[in-house]
Amino acid sequence: MHAVRQGAGLHRIRLRNYLCAQLLILWGLAVCFGGVDLPVEQPRPRPPGVPLPVDHAAPRDLPVVRPDPSDAPPPVFFGEDILSERGEIIFILDQSASMWEGTPNATRAGQTKWSEARAELTRALEGMSSSLKFNLVAYDCNTYSLWAAPREASAANVAQAKAWVDALWPSGGTGTAPACIVGLDQVGPGAKLVLLMDGQGNCPMPDVASHRDSIRRANTDGIPIDVFGLFVQPNGRSFARGIAADSGGAYFEVR
């Protein structure tokens, strides 16, 4: 009986080994032909407080680099570069009745002060870099502003500004101080005002000293005002130079 039991046990072991071998063969075939999904080891969760490896760290937001307006080529007005640290320029135009006077230069016969001023302003606007901002202010005894604040010198804004200037019609007196104050209120430190004029202020206050004093007191940010005297009348020359000197700007006489 003992010998029989031993033989039966060996038979069972061989049968079991044979079946295991067959199963291994079938499993191998299934793996080769994609019939069985191999187990995938899942990543272990990162313990709290442990930073990601440097190579896999989330990228940081890079700063947005914007062009520096002070690096842009400056517009040119009557041959002079108009520089502005802030990249903002306000052009202030005298459109009093005297701007209809003809220019005394024989090479420009038939032109008026106003046509010359308008043509030069158009050239300056067309030459402005789009990274700069600008606005236009015109004055007789009243003050007129193209926009409430400077805008970028885009093609659309330059076109709008040129159309606005073309629609202006000089008349009346010379309200220099109110126009300069409107321009000063629209900008801050580092900006530039460009004042084109042909005579001294005479309205709404009649005396020149009041105009100059009002501009000086309103210019709390020390914004330089470059003044261009366009065939300026003799009585307006010292007035124009005074406005430029009070603000730290420059005076240019156009003839």
| 10 and 75 both lie in a single domain | no
| 151 and 25 both lie in a single domain | no
Is 5 contained in some domain?
yes
pLDDT at 8: 54
| 94 and 27 both lie in a single domain | no
Q: Answer with the residue of higher pLDDT: 231 or 68.
A: 231
| 105 and 4 both lie in a single domain | no
Total domains in the chain come to 2
Q: Answer with the residue of higher pLDDT: 7 or 199.
A: 199
Question: pLDDT tens for residues 41-93?
Answer: 566 666 776 666 555 444 555 555 455 555 678 999 999 999 999 999 999 99
Distance CA(204)–CA(191), nearest Å, equals: 26
Is 109 contained in some domain?
yes
Three-class SS of residue 187?
Answer: coil
Contact (CB, 8 A) for 231 and 255 = yes
pLDDT at 104: 74
Is 39 contained in some domain?
no
Which of 168, 240, 171 lies closest to 199, judged by CA?
Answer: 240
The answer for residues whose C-beta is within 8 angstroms of residue 204's C-beta and 6 or more apart is 141, 175, 178
Question: pLDDT tens for residues 108-122?
Answer: 556 899 999 999 999
Position 147 pLDDT exceeds 50 = yes
